[in-house]
Amino acid sequence: MTRLMSTDAGPAIAVENLARRFGDLVAVDHVSFSVARGEVFGFLGPNGAGKTTTIAMLTTLLRPTEGSARVAGHDVERAAAGVRRAIGIVFQEPSLDERLTARENLEFHAVLYGMPRAERPARITEALRLVDLEERAGSLVEQYSGGMRRRLEIARGLLHVPAVLFLDEPTLGLDPQSRRAVWEHIRTLRDQTGVTIFMTTHYMEEAEFCDRIAVIDHGRIVALDTPEGLKDMVGGDVVVVTAPDAPALVDHLAGQSLDATRRDSEVRVEVDDGARFIPRLIRGFPGEIDGASVRRPTLDDVFLKLTGRTIRESELDAGDVARGRMRRAMESRRRR
Amino acid sequence: MSAAAGPGRPDPGITRTRVGAPAGRAAMTVGAVGIIWKREMLRWWRDKSRIIGSTGFPLVFLLVFGSGLSGAMGNMIGGGAQAIEFEQFIFPGIIAMSVFFTALFNGVSLVYDREFGILKEMLVAPVSRAAVAFGKTLGGATVATLQGTLVFLFAPLVGIRLSVLLVLQLWPIMFLGAFALASMGVAVAARIRSIESFQMINQFVMFPLIFLSGIFFPLQGLPAWMNVLVRINPVSYAVDPLRRLILEAQGLPEAVMGRLSESGLALSIGGHEVSIALGVAIVTGFGIVMNVLAMWLISIRD
């Protein structure tokens, strides 16, 4: 795909003190960050953390309550049309017309973005080839699988050669195989087009594909670094020990000034060198130990360290309230 | 204003150069309206069950309602001159009903578009939201006109003769009425997110509007309040020209021809017959007001 030339040296996205309230609920709480051109930038956090609300503001669908944001050099409030010309979006929820074919869906998009008629057929074919849907171009989308629809939406988001591509939970609801395929496509796209990618996810494995990650929780950015940098915050290794008397084990570790967390009979602790730590623990701990494992820290460990909860636990709390409110506000548009 | 905006126009704030020449702003708006219209047409054409259902519905009305009531109503029409049958009287009304309901219900498609995310896809595109509303309306109005045209097929069943010239006269009026009601449908749907709410508004606002437009009953001898409602209802002015054009083309007796409004076959205000031109003007004005309203309502950003 053709590389977008740019004469503007500024960042692809610059966000300052951005906030959005829905009534008394603060969905996005004064976040600031900037995304360099060509970067793959991820927003990682549980459902309801404010990810989709942030995307809605950056893509001009929702007005910020406070703060400012510039996308591809255009202010999202004062130059919404400029922003819209410069971005592509893959929404969290499907947004294809199932009664149209894949090609017709892309044609619809191409015309909305003012692509000259003469260029359309070739560009559409190229976009379909990029996501391996060329052969099914003439099929109605209602006959597509979930993974194919997602790939078609990604092709659509890139069709007009945007400077910034927004992906809101691009692999949500896909099986692992389709998820991997979508990720391969996203990486190919970035390498071939140099497009800046802003994505949200609550899958830890996916966040690893990003150049930088902002960890977001309750509408705030709690950490922002490369995946490696974030993992370094956790320390050397994560050791998980299973013991019948787990509370005693936690106390024992506390005695060695190690900060352990327990869930049922599982005790999790961060140490510098796990391979040496385990034998020492077995010798030193008077109680029984059923098992022990060592692994490299994951982003899940980072999230746990930063927020005291795992992402999965966070999903169980009232986080969905924010999501529900935002959706209602956007759909009913009661507020002006 | 924006008509001259060509690809080379320096646009403040846009410093990147695009691959290929992007269309000018006016051309983009026209293109967007066109493709949204085309999508409505494709969706209609591919939904054969909808076409059959929407055609069968007026047929049932024509047969059941028309035949069922013709015995009781027959003599009251045309001042007792037996000039026309009741089925013939309601035939134009059935065409109008088919056109108006189809146009109005097209608003539901906007609610569906919102539910299935396609509206969002349109709203983040660099086209004005007014263009989105206009394209939806135009598509709905075209579908409604085609749907009304299918009712022409039943004309022989009730002894109505249609000529090419008559059809050419009817089409623009059907389209104008359809445009007004499709605009109204879009205006309502622009603020609504559930199908149920849309249906409720339909029942309380839109159905009365259509039923109080003289579709099913002659306009003579109505109760005073209904007389007023029919005359302030803009939809009546879309039904009236259709009925007059169709009935006048059937070769009515001289005695009836000159006194259509006295026979309850045409609208009159204060004893003056409303001309076809005035009817068309009122419908057009109503359509413009409704369309501007639809554009405004869809443009409100959160």
What chain A holds in terms of domains, given with CATH numbers, is 13-226 (3.40.50.300), 236-296 (3.30.70.260)
Torsion angle defined by CA atoms of residues B34, B40, B43 and B45, in that order, rounded to the nearest 10 degrees:
-90
Specify if B60 maps to a domain: yes
Tell me how close the Cα of B128 comes to any Cα of chain A, in angstroms. 9
The reply to whether residue A87 touches residue B34, judged by beta carbons under 8 angstroms, is: no
B18: left (phi over 0), alpha (psi -120 to 50) or beta: beta
Question: pTM, whole model, 2 decimals?
Answer: 0.80
> Which residues lie closer than 8 Å to B24 by C-beta, 6 or more apart?
B2, B4, B5, B6, B7, B9
CA-to-CA distance for A146 and A161, rounded, in angstroms? 24
Q: B145 in a domain, yes or no?
A: yes
- Chain A interface disruption, residue of B9, B19, B110, most A CBs within 10 A: B19
The list of chain A residues with pLDDT below 50 reads: 1-7, 318-319, 332-336
Query: Which one of A73, A96, A114 has the shortest CB-CB distance to B22?
Result: A114
Q: Evaluate whether residue B31 is within a structural domain.
A: yes
Chain A: give the shortest CA distance to residue B12, in Å: 9
Full pLDDT tens readout for chain B, 302 residues: 344 433 433 333 333 434 445 567 888 899 999 999 999 999 999 999 989 988 988 898 888 877 777 766 655 555 555 567 788 888 999 999 999 999 998 889 999 999 888 999 999 999 999 999 999 999 999 999 999 999 999 999 888 889 999 999 999 999 999 999 999 999 999 988 888 888 888 888 878 888 888 888 877 778 888 888 888 899 999 999 998 899 888 877 666 666 666 667 778 777 778 888 999 999 999 999 999 999 999 988 76
- Choose the closest CB to B14 out of A82, A98, A111: A82
B229 in a domain, yes or no?
Answer: yes
pLDDT recorded at residue B11: 39
B299 chain-A contacts, CB cut-off 8 A: none
A74 DSSP β-pair partners: A71
B211/chain A closest Cα distance in angstroms: 29
Res A265: pLDDT: 86
Q: Give the model's pLDDT for residue B187.
A: 93
ipTM reported for the complex, 2 dp: 0.83
B209 touches chain A (CB under 8 A): no
pLDDT at site B76: 55
Residue showing tokens 């007001």: B289
User: Which residue of chain B comes nearest to A85, CA vs CA?
Assistant: B126
Cα–Cα–Cα angle for B32, B35, B41, rounded to 5 degrees: 145
Which residues of chain A does B122 touch, with a Cβ-Cβ cutoff of 8 Å?
Answer: 112
Chain A contact present for B19, CB below 8 A: yes
Query: pLDDT (tens digit, 9 = 90+) per residue, B125-182?
Result: 999 999 999 999 999 999 999 999 999 999 998 888 899 999 999 999 999 999 999 9
- Tokens at residue B46, please? 């591919």
Out of B11, B117, B127, the one facing A91 most closely (by C-beta) is B117
Would the CB atoms of B302 and A7 count as touching at under 8 Å? no
In a domain, B7, yes or no: no
Is B27 close to A335, i.e. CB distance below 8 A? no
Give the distance from residue A81's alpha carbon to the nearest chain B alpha carbon, in angstroms.
Answer: 6
Distance CA B125, CA A233 (A): 41
The answer to whether the CB atoms of B42 and A100 lie below 8 A apart is: yes
Query: Is A6 within 8 Å of B16 when comparing Cβ atoms?
Result: yes
Chain B residue closest in CA terms to A63 = B302
Q: Which two tokens stand for residue B149?
A: 């045209």
B16:A112 CB<8 A: no
B196 to chain A, any CB pair closer than 8 A? The answer is: no
Distance from CA of B301 to the nearest CA of A (A): 6
Q: Judging by beta carbons within 10 Å of its beta carbon (0-12, 13-18, 19+), is residue B260 exposed, middle or buried?
A: buried
- For A300-313, the pLDDT digits (tens) are 888 888 887 777 67
Of B13, B22, B302, the CB nearest to A63: B302
Instruction: Tell me the residue range of the domain where B57 lies.
Output: 25-299
Contact B14 A163 (CB under 8 A): no
Longest dimension (CA), chain B: 76
CB burial string B223-234: b at 16+ within 10 A, e below: eeeeeebbbebb
Residue pair B77/B217 in contact (Cβ under 8 Å)? The answer is no
Is B267 an 8 Å CB contact of chain A?
A: no
Number of domains in chain B: 1
- Cβ of residue B34 closer than 8 Å to a chain A Cβ: yes
Q: Cβ contacts (< 8 Å) between A107 and chain B: which residues?
A: 35
**Is the CB of A4 less than 8 angstroms away from the CB of B19?**
yes
- CB nearest B125 (choices: A86, A91, A112): A112
